[in-house]
Amino acid sequence: MNRRKLLELIEEGEGLNVEFKQRFSTYEKIAKEFIAFANTRGGYVLFGIDDNKSVYGVESEKGEAELVRITAEKYCEPPVEYKIHFINLDEKEIVIAEIFESENKPHRIQDYLEELDLNSSEVFVRVNDKSVPASKEMIKILQTQSKSIPLKKYQIGKNEQTVFEYLDEHETITVKQLSEIANLSRRRASRTLIKLVRANLLLIHTKENGEDYFTYAG
């Protein structure tokens, strides 16, 4: 990270890979951003920059760096990989936390549970310029992608055909829609769509409100 790169990030504004923070707020709020980046494509959290791109700087770069370290290592489960950069801009110190995309997804807010709980664990992903809660479907897909769990003896059946027929006409489908049109339980509809994503036949997308929808892959 150098001064030119920092200026480019500020000019581009907040987005999929960039988040501005005028100052460090709470461990949990910053962990949410770190986790979302680690679960998505990685990114940068810029401390000392306001949402409107104003440069405020931080009071203590060493103090800010220690807060970043504690957040990444103690408030994220598993801990996220990160690198800290210090850059002087307009005689003000900016601290940049570079969060790397993880190979061990999904990360969650530290809850001290031995295993991730789909019903209670707080998992986040990055959508545009926001960090949003991940759905159960997204969490399951992240789990299978990280563990490289192969699909065994997977066959296209009646439910899958229903998905394809619906997508041919509507372009997108949700778990709720599949549940209704195929008269399936939500769990079974969810499982059907997850398997189609794992088979690389569908893609999962998350809206800024945290809701998911599915489309054809490619």
H helical segments located in 59-112 = 61-74
Cβ-count burial of 60 within 10 angstroms (0-12 exposed, 13-18 middle, 19+ buried)?
exposed
| Mean predicted confidence (pLDDT) in 118-137 | 95
Please state the rounded mean pLDDT for residues 82-92: 95
Peptide bond into 150 cis (omega under 30): no
Amino acid letter, residue 155: Q
pLDDT at site 10 = 96
Span 52-84, pLDDT tens digits:
999 999 999 999 999 999 999 999 999 999 999
Measure the CA–CA gap between 69 and 108, rounded to whole angstroms. 16
Give the residue from 128, 139, 133, 125 showing the smallest Cα distance to 34: 125
CA 116 to each of CA 31, 38, 52: distance values in angstroms, whole numbers, following the listed order: 16, 16, 36
Rg of the chain (C-alpha set): 20
Residues 114, 143: Cα–Cα separation, whole Å: 15
β-strand partners of 206: 212
Residues 6 or more apart in contact with residue 69 via CB below 8 angstroms:
84
- Helix, strand and coil content of the chain, in percent to the nearest 5, comes to 40, 25, 40
Burial bucket for residue 149 (CB in 10 Å: 0-12, 13-18, 19+): exposed
pLDDT for position 65: 96
Answer yes or no: is pLDDT of 147 > 90: no
| pLDDT (0 to 100) of residue 110 | 97
The pLDDT value given to residue 155? 84
What percentage of residues in the chain have a pLDDT greater than 70? 100
Q: How does pLDDT run across 16-65, given as a tens digit for each residue?
A: 999 999 999 899 999 999 999 999 999 999 999 999 999 999 999 999 99
Q: Which domains does the chain have, with CATH numbers?
A: 3-132 (3.30.950.30), 141-216 (1.10.10.10)
